[in-house]
Amino acid sequence: MDRNTEKKRIDKIIGNNIQMMRMDRNISTGELADVIGLTRGHVTLIERGKRGANSVTMVLLSKLFNVPVDRFFSECDEDEHTLLEEGELESVGLPSIESIAV
């Protein structure tokens, strides 16, 4: 597999994992964008695998979702993304970007 094809495949995996973690927590694309300092459109492109997430974005997402950065590279089922117990989603508040900044 050539480098460009591999990059596209990895960007798609990362984007899918970000989207699943976001949706599991009932966070909108706009809310996530505000928290990590990107535009809604940029987050959408990342989630669709059309644009790669840079290292700072990956670290911010890792802190926000409370997962190691390498979790975004895993090919896994939707059920593996849910880290909160049922009923806990209502109590999850979004932090400000200052509180998760590197």
Q: DSSP assignment, residue 78?
A: G
DSSP H/E element including 57: helix 55-65
Q: Does the pTM of the predicted model rise above 0.95? A: no
Q: Which two tokens stand for residue 89?
A: 């989603």
Angle between helices 40-47 and 29-36 (to 10 degrees): 110
- Residue numbers in the chain where pLDDT is lower than 50: 80-92, 102
Q: Which pLDDT tens digit goes with each residue over 77-91?
A: 555 444 434 444 344
Q: How many CB atoms lie within 10 A of CB 87?
A: 7
CATH of residue 28's domain is: 1.10.260.40
For position 65, what pLDDT does the model report?
Answer: 95
Q: Which domain holds residue 70?
A: 3-100
Q: Which two tokens stand for residue 82?
A: 């849910």
Query: In the chain, how many domains are there?
Result: 1
